[in-house]
């Protein structure tokens, strides 16, 4: 019998996430109650929707566009909210293309637990920039994802462009 050595990745910053995962309340609604900035990762607030960086991104520049109003289901959003969410999605893709130069995007909405939603009660759109080769052997072989750019750096790049 061959046994594989267990690799351990030391990530003490994850404990804050683990502790907060079971806290009551919506992560999006909590962020909206705070001042915009790097601490809450909110990049932009519109009339009825907002944009924020994903704290645990799939790739650099992974953004989320959500309604300000706490709504679980896409079909319950009014026309104005849907329109602003799509306009913000379009605007952020344009900005990401300019400042990060991705080669493609995944844009999607995960609805329900079996649909992959991590935040079940507040519908949101994911914008995930993609580059050729951004998925490699590390997640498969090493069970480790490599993020080549810090959230603070990504936030500053995008915020600067949004300010123009």
The gap from C-alpha 130 to its chain's centroid, in whole angstroms, comes to: 13
Whether residue 124 lies in the annotated active site? yes
Q: Among the options 122, 124, 126, 135, which is catalytic?
A: 124
SS3 of the chain: CCCCCCCCCCCCCHHHHHHHHCCCCCHHHHHHCCCCECCCCEEEECCCEEEEECCCCCCCCCEEEEECCCCCCHHHCCHHHHHHHHHHHHHHHHHHHHHHCCCEEEEECCCCHHHCCCCCCCCCEEEEEECCCCCCHHHHHHCCCCCCCCHHHHHHHHHHHHCC
Supply the residues annotated as catalytic.
Answer: 124
């Amino acid at each position: 019998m061959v046994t594989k050595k267990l690799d351990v990745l030391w990530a003490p910053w994850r404990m804050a996430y683990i502790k907060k995962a079971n806290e009551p309340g919506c992560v999006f609604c909590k962020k909206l109650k705070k001042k915009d900035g790097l601490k809450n990762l909110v990049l932009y607030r519109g009339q009825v929707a907002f944009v924020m960086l994903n704290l645990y991104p799939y790739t650099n520049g992974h953004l989320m566009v959500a309604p300000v109003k706490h709504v679980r289901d896409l079909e319950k959003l009014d026309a104005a909210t849907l329109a602003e969410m799509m306009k913000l999605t379009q605007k952020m893709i344009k900005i990401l293309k300019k400042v990060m130069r991705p080669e493609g995007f995944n844009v999607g909405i995960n609805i329900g637990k079996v649909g992959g939603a991590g935040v079940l009660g507040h519908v949101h759109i994911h914008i995930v920039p993609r580059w050729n080769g951004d998925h490699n052997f590390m997640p498969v072989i090493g069970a480790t994802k490599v993020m080549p750019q810090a959230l603070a750096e990504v936030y500053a790049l995008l915020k600067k462009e949004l300010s123009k």
